[in-house]
Amino acid sequence: MKALDAVILLFLFLVLAVGLGLLWLNIPGLPGQPFKEQEFNINKTELNYETKGVQFYPNMRYRDKIISYSVSNSCDLAKKKDVERAFAFLAERTILDFKESPNGELSILCSEIAPEPEEKGHFVAGEGGPSEIINTTTFSVILSGKVSLYRRTNECVRPNVAIHEILHALGFDHNNNAESIMYPVTDCDQILDTYIVNEINSLYSTESASDLMIEKVRASQTGKYLNFEITIGNFGLKDSPGSNLIIYSDDTEVKTFVLEEIEIGTRKILNVTNLRVPLSFENLEFEVKSSEKEIDKRNNIVELKLEEIGQ
């Protein structure tokens, strides 16, 4: 009898020990192994042209090299012609194209508009300039621009006034060369500078696409549970319609999260607690996958390594 009691007792102890062990492994929230905290700085796309301060802000451009515009009904026929000729002139000399559309990014107005105080920063030229921009660090993306042709009709062979104002709306500032079309005082003999053409062609050589990037990620493991916080931003030229965040532990897929639309210049923060993972692994990988073309996909993967305890 006594021997049997001892065996039963031992068995119960074993069950208890195994149970406690399993409990420890499966209870979330106990102090765990932290993954090396990592932060990633925005990876600026290297553009192979010099910024000479020719634009109001560095790297100003519209989303696409085909820019839509609308012409207000307040513009008379002569001014409408000027605008069309100005766009044709620029389209012929640069990689840009312009198309008329009711809700165009670039509004051509013909009434006298004084820049509103809060707009002054962007609407620098008074009569033409970007009116809404988003800084995605790689580019200052112009979401909308305005041109006001309130002066009397252009008398030059070339519509220099309209070209000057459209160039402002494309982000170009005045210069101090009296022979340039961007000189503050307009003259019929002024020419379109090569630096402007080169700048435009260089800026718009980047294809319009989104650029999702893992900006920051922090993770810790407790038994079989993983907690993490990840920041994903869109630093491109186009909104991202949707993507997936995939998590791997030592190359094994753990979980996929569906990310909805991420507009340009915005971020999404995902905070996840108690995600089941294998008990032991060394590497954790986060990957943002989209079926869309992106400016740079190299910034879509981040690998975290287990931090040695005591280090």
- Smallest distance from the beta carbon of 164 to Zn ion, in angstroms? 6
Nearer to Zn ion, 16 or 191 (CB): 191
Nearer to Zn ion, 125 or 149 (CB): 125
Cβ neighbour number for residue 103 with a 10 Å cutoff:
8
User: Binding residues for Zn ion, how many (CB under 5 A)?
Assistant: 1
- Smallest distance from the beta carbon of 163 to Zn ion, in angstroms? 11
Enter the tokens of residue 91: 């389209």
Which listed residue (90, 125, 142, 275) binds Zn ion by CB under 5 A?
125
Pick the closest to residue 127 from 142, 143, 107 (CA basis): 107
Nearer to Zn ion, 109 or 125 (CB): 125
- Smallest distance from the beta carbon of 165 to Zn ion, in angstroms? 7
- Smallest distance from the beta carbon of 128 to Zn ion, in angstroms? 7
- Which of these ranges, 11-19, 51-59, 103-111, 118-126, lies near Zn ion under the rule CB under 5 A? 118-126
Instruction: Based on the shown chain and the rule CB under 5 A, indicate whether residue 147 belongs to the binding site for Zn ion.
Output: no
- Which of these ranges, 42-50, 124-132, 209-217, 256-264, lies near Zn ion under the rule CB under 5 A? 124-132
For Zn ion, the binding residues (CB under 5 A) are: 125
